[in-house]
Amino acid sequence: MIDLGNITFSYPNARVPALSGVDASIGEGIYLLLGENGAGKTTLLHLMATLLFPTEGSVTINGDDSRRRLPSTLRSLYFLPDDAQMPADTVEQLVKLHGSVFYPRFDAAMLADNLRAFGIDARIPFDMMSLGQRKKAYIAYALALRTDILLLDEPANGLDIGSRDLLRNLMARCVEPGQTVVISTHQTADLQPLYDGIIMLRRGKMLFSLSTAEITNRIGFGVFDIPPRSALYTMSDIGRFRSIIPADPDSPSEIDIHLLYSALQCREGEGVLSVLANSQNPSQS
């Protein structure tokens, strides 16, 4: 469990905070962290990972203040940044120096299965791998640590189409009930079937943090020849229209993440945000 208590974070000499008034509780499941470039996603991941501390407010990891950086906190989470640098030359060395030492739930059999699925040899040095191979090795390792909290920044970067499919399958197989996984990515389609919730940032502020069920209980998504009159937001798309509409409680729709993101980046989408902020299904109010 990650609790963000109305946090603000400012970098030294910055004119405006990187994050301001971010408040949410993130429980078990797989969450998509979404926002434009510069929205504060990577900063927020660093705060969750106890690598930065809030200027104001608090970050609590499993009930403990992140500022304390307790051993119990550090061994319960793992952060894989987009530009990761490993403290070992190979996966094999990494296990001996890091995984089996610091992470009590590390699963060697899971790691072997993950590496086999990606076609990675644990004995090959990282500096002899391509970018995509290194990324696959890092992801295979991160999942096998089986931490309570796993933070991933752009895990699909550098992966080909087939490897992205494998990533989705591994995530579905390796992430267990009770784990919290937060993924910051612009490649939203790769893992869409797995998301249990979405955290949306814009210009350093949190627009919402909701489960996928909460979102589909409040708004619906559809493709139409003519935009429906009830549409909250519509995007033209090669001879058809993709629209966000009030939710139909009898027929919830699949979330169109691209459409939702586009709506919340413009003034025309403010009505969508207003409906999402409403704790009651608008069709029942």
Q: What is the CATH number of the domain that holds 67?
A: 3.40.50.300
Instruction: Please check whether residues 114 and 173 belong to one and the same domain.
Output: yes
Based on the domain organization, do 153 and 248 belong to the same domain?
no
> Does 181 share its domain with 260?
no
On the question of pLDDT at 285 being above 50, the answer is: no
pLDDT of residue 273: 93
Q: How does residue 279 score in pLDDT terms, banded at 50, 70 and 90?
A: low
CA–CA dist 52, 186 (Å, integer)? 23
267 and 130 part of one domain? no
- pLDDT at residue 280, as a whole number: 43
Do both 19 and 86 map to the same domain? Answer: yes
pLDDT in tens, 193-220: 899 999 999 999 999 999 999 999 999 9
Burial class (CB in 10 A: 0-12, 13-18, 19+), 278: exposed
Pairing type for strands 205-211 and 56-61 reads: unpaired
Residue 182 shares a structural domain with residue 49: yes
Domain holding 134, by residue range, is 2-203
Residues 200 and 206 sit within 8 Å (Cβ to Cβ): yes
Q: Which residues, including other chains, have CB under 8 Å from residue 185's CB and lie 6 or more apart?
A: 32, 33, 152, 154, 155, 156, 191
Same domain? For 167 and 62 the reply is: yes
% of the chain with per-residue pLDDT over 70: 98
Average pLDDT, the chain: 93
pTM of this prediction? 0.93
CB atoms within 10 A of CB 202: 17
| 3-state DSSP helix/strand/coil % of the chain, to nearest 5 | 35, 25, 40
What is the H or E stretch that residue 236 is in? strand 233-236
Here the tokens at position 103 are 């992470």
How many domains does the chain contain in total? 2
